[in-house]
Structure 1
Amino acid sequence: MTPAPDRHPAGLSTLFLTEVWERLGFYILMAVLTLHMDKEMGWSDGTKGVVYGVFLAGCYFFPLAGGWLGDRVLGQIKTVRLGAALMTLGYVALGLSSRAHVALFGAGLCLIAVGTGILKVNISVLVGNLYVDRLHLRDAGFNFYYMGVNIGAAIAPIAATALGFWFGSYRPSFWVGALGMVMAQVVFYRGRGRLIQVNPLAAGAEDSTETMLPAESRQRVLVLLGLFLVAALFWTGFYQNGFAMTLFAERSTRVVPLLRPETYQFFQPAFILVLTPLILGVFTLLRTRSSEPSTPRKILLGMLVMGLAMLIMSLASRLGGNLDRPIMSPSWLIGVYGIITVAEVLISPLGQSFVTKVAPPHLRGRMMGGWFAATATGGYASGLIGSFYGRMPHHHYYLLLVGLLGCSALLALIQLPRLERYTA
């Protein structure tokens, strides 16, 4: 028997660089979207919140359709290229939009939401396909790929800040997003020969022989549905980074050199790059002492940490942020972004890992789609709740989020015995 290779496949660098460029464009958009709607479109907080929430929901609901396209119609490679082309057109439409051309703005967001959705799920499948013959390296490969996501996300707010200084407008950021997508397509096209377009189960992966009784399958689905509800409430709080916290940066935070409202979204991916190895190191140390918490307990801890972040934002609002005057120290937002990062590390990758472990073999794709749907629900809810940001004292707004996150933590605690049953 030929031993499994001990090196990462060459195609990983292609997908890594594709994602760096793709995420650069997407997170430039996320850095300026609320600000653009506020300053250049002149919309109310309520309108901005609805548009923001619907856009995020689309980005995370369309992976359900994208998975079907990749598996049944076009294949993963062609579907990724289609998604990238749609996103490029979307950024161009945004770059051409204005108060007099609102339809172009809406069309641009729709194209980017569809393109992101069908690209996102299929590029992840392509990463997994690379490791059919080297399963022992798959987790490390996904970690490396995730670094590409966060490198692009970290560069984007800095680029948006520089563009804002130079041009005094958010529209050039959309053109840079289009350029990023062109570069992503060039990288992907040149490296397409290194990619593998197969169904891993058909290639002999370990899950192909798994069977499960119908009753056990139903129990696992019910457990995951409960987890999805918890996750949706988490993302409701998490995506305030692009809405309420961006408005806090723009209206309530003291102006300092090199820090514009869109710059603050640099800190979260930067914290990811710094804190992830530290957090993993702590869990490795606990594992050697046989005291590492289970995955559900880590998720519960993440919900509590997220609640703490919103509680601190409530305090910052009470101490002056409510006035919508630029008097608050930037350290409030930077510190909260660090706390949110800890919560993200505890919930986002671990939640996906838990889904792949617990889901019945024949439902894994649909259950992962359910995870993305929970993300979409949270994204939409973040914008829906965001419509109240200007209608109540900001500290009450953040306390509302604390309450929702507290309910989700309680729900996770109630479900803990059932969740831990599948982590043994």
Structure 2
Amino acid sequence: MFKGQPKGLYALALANTGERFGYYTMLAIFTLFLQAKFGFSASVTSNIFAGFLALVYFLPVLGGYLADKFGYGKMVTSGIIVMFLGYVFLAVPTGNDAAGIAAMVGALVLIALGTGLFKGNLQVMVGNLYDDPKYAAKRDTAFSIFYMAINIGALFAPKAAEKITEWYMGKTGFSYNGDIPALAHQYLDGNLTGDALAKFTDLAAAQGAQWADNLGEFANRYIACLAGSYHWGFAVACVSLVISMMIYVFGRKTFKHADVNAKQVAASGSKEAAVELTPEQTKSRVTALMLVFAVVIFFWMAFHQNGLTLTFFARDYTATTATGLTRIGFDVINLVLIIIAVYGLFSFFQSEKGRTKLTSGAVTVASLALLAWKYSAMGDASIAILPQKFQQFNPFFVVALTPVSMAVFGALAKRGKEPSAPRKIGIGMFIAALGFTIMALGSFGLPIPNDLASVTTDYRVTPNLLIGTYLVLTFAELFLSPMGISFVSKVAPPKYKGLMMGGWFAATAVGNYMVAIIGMLWGGLPLWVLWSILIVLCLVSALFIFSIMKKLENATA
């Protein structure tokens, strides 16, 4: 898996890990922040969230265009600086008035622009490492490793967000309750009556007996406290970007040779400059990429519900405590121990040296023993769950399952039966449909979101429903995302590498903006209907890509 890879891969991957840690810390709390601080409805929140994601993934088109002209490394460095400024502005506490909203929007634009300069061009440099015939056969494996590194950063992000929220609210005497912010805004707007008012009064009293008779002050203070904790969460991204920049600068000597675009290669007089595609070949490749881009739009529309409607579901419909074995997954240290055990086990079976096998076996046994000890120490007590904690399961599954997927693909490759990258994408769409089928089945009988304020019976479902969904969606992601990026880096005409990688992100941007469609429907429809819309879109996309498979595979021949 790691053997024989160029050193530049690890420097670029770790630089991306630092940046992604900050980004996903912010993303884990972003929709919660919008609703808690500004009192936005699900529809408004959905549009802001989707618009931001669309910018984040569309601006790599601009970043790729500029990189094809001026160089990838310059754009990556500029991107880190611009992102840093955006996170600084987002971390500064502001009011919840029009000026506060404007400051928030400005910060988001800077973050999106910086990401556009950084993300795609970093990945192009990874691809350039594998233009060397010595490493060409390891391209798909490399992007799986690179993608795994991204998710290592994402794995720890929700934990960081949770701890900051608990710390900041705890020092002011409050504790987190996901039901309070919406009810507090409704109370301040004068729209809270009947059972909903009684529910808010009980929740206020649970935070402190003095608040039951002073609901207005409680509402204002709680909103300000929770919003303040989120601002501190955004500051984490500033620190992570400093670390990312240090890794990039000090590791540059390992990938400097990959920081060249077609224009620079031509100017150098290198033999590589003589490699040219015919207009027909260029057209065929660009067409193939555009068809793939069209399909992945609907995957990202479905997948990035994790930051929107699946987060709403975690907050409003999922049990706020975990018991039994389920508790293991809500401690990030436990997840790390599982990852170590998985990698130790693979190393044990794949190693050729006895000493390495012995070390790998010992590491695996020690990790599992420590995990068992930590679980036994929990006793019978339940643990509280914050909704953002569910965001750690997707990156955990990516990191843990990457060696599994690579082993499976490697075994198939030895037999000459490994699916092509386009086929993997099609399979990924079918798996994504299965993931939302789990959500649809688990949502039958639940009240619609608009009725929740007056519901007093216990309707919350087991956390395992979301955990299982994230597991299946991660399988889909592993079939689609790293393989898609690898496909783009391989098929893109040399003159348009940056632009075509930007095109991949532009397709992602369209999908991310379409995330808002489900968010805007959130409220008046049964939940199983919302998930069924995504099931149908994923199935139709899968059928489409298999219908054009020959065209895609001929373009890569």
Aligned residues: 418
Q: Aligned in 2, Cα 1:269/1:68: closer, same or farther, shift over 3 Å?
A: same
Task: List aligned pairs for 1:327-342, cutoff 5 A.
Answer: 327-342=460-475
CA contact (8 A) 1:41 1:98 kept: no
Asked if residue 70 in structure 1 is aligned to residue 203 in structure 2, the reply is no
**Structure 1 stretch 172-181 or stretch 160-169: which is displaced more?**
160-169
Instruction: Read off the aligned partner of 2:101 and give its amino acid letter.
Output: V
Give the RMSD, CA atoms, in angstroms. Answer: 2.6
3-state SS in 1 of match to 2:256: coil
3-state SS in 1 of match to 2:135: helix
**Structure 1 stretch 23-32 or stretch 173-182: which is displaced more?**
173-182
Q: 1:99 is matched with which residue?
A: 96
Q: 2:300 aligns with which of 235, 239, 258?
A: 235
Could you state the TM-score of these two structures normalised by the residue count of structure 1?
Answer: 0.90
CA contact (8 A) 1:66 1:122 kept: yes
Task: List aligned pairs for 1:166-245, cutoff 5 A.
Answer: 166-168=167-169, 169-196=229-256, 198-199=259-260, 202=265, 208-245=273-310
Q: Aligned in 2, Cα 1:261/1:357: closer, same or farther, shift over 3 Å?
A: same
Asked if residue 59 in structure 1 is aligned to residue 84 in structure 2, the reply is no
Q: Aligned in 2, Cα 1:214/1:141: closer, same or farther, shift over 3 Å?
A: closer
CA distance in 1, matches of 2:135, 2:554: 25
**Structure 1 stretch 34-43 or stretch 61-70: which is displaced more?**
61-70
Q: 1:153 is matched with which residue?
A: 154
CA contact (8 A) 2:155 2:392 kept: yes
Q: 2:112 is matched with which residue?
A: 113
Q: 2:410 aligns with which of 284, 291, 309?
A: 284
Deviations 1:299-348 (A, max 9, x none): 11110111111121122221436465761110010111010111011111
CA distance in 2, matches of 1:384, 1:233: 12
Q: Aligned in 2, Cα 1:367/1:195: closer, same or farther, shift over 3 Å?
A: closer
3-state SS in 2 of match to 1:40: helix
CA contact (8 A) 1:307 1:405 kept: yes
Shift, 1:16, TM fit: 3.2
Q: Aligned in 2, Cα 1:255/1:204: closer, same or farther, shift over 3 Å?
A: farther
Shift, 1:47, TM fit: 0.6
Instruction: Give the fraction of aligned pairs with identical amino acids, expressed as a percent.
Output: 38
Asked if residue 246 in structure 1 is aligned to residue 311 in structure 2, the reply is yes
3-state SS in 2 of match to 1:170: helix
Q: 1:418 is matched with which residue?
A: 551
Q: 1:3 is matched with which residue?
A: none
CA distance in 2, matches of 1:108, 1:272: 29
Task: List aligned pairs for 1:363-402, cutoff 5 A.
Answer: 363-402=496-535
Shift, 1:119, TM fit: 1.0
CA distance in 2, matches of 1:77, 1:220: 25
Deviations 1:218-257 (A, max 9, x none): 3333332221111111111011011110110011000112
Q: 1:317 aligns with which of 418, 443, 462?
A: 443
Shift, 1:157, TM fit: 0.9
Q: 2:80 aligns with which of 57, 79, 84?
A: 84
Q: 2:392 is matched with which residue?
A: 266
Asked if residue 27 in structure 1 is aligned to residue 24 in structure 2, the reply is yes
CA contact (8 A) 2:124 2:498 kept: no
CA distance in 2, matches of 1:165, 1:149: 26
CA distance in 2, matches of 1:148, 1:349: 11
Shift, 1:9, TM fit: 5.1
Instruction: Read off the aligned partner of 1:176 and give its amino acid letter.
Output: V
CA distance in 1, matches of 2:413, 2:399: 22
Deviations 1:345-387 (A, max 9, x none): 1111212222334444444433222211111110111124322
Can you give the 5+ residue segments of structure 2 that lack an aligned partner in the other structure?
170-228, 322-382, 453-457
Shift, 1:406, TM fit: 1.9
Could you state the TM-score of these two structures normalised by the residue count of structure 2?
Answer: 0.69
CA contact (8 A) 2:84 2:241 kept: yes
Q: Aligned in 2, Cα 1:363/1:383: closer, same or farther, shift over 3 Å?
A: same
Q: 2:163 is matched with which residue?
A: 162
CA contact (8 A) 1:232 1:375 kept: yes
CA contact (8 A) 2:18 2:153 kept: yes
CA distance in 1, matches of 2:277, 2:125: 27
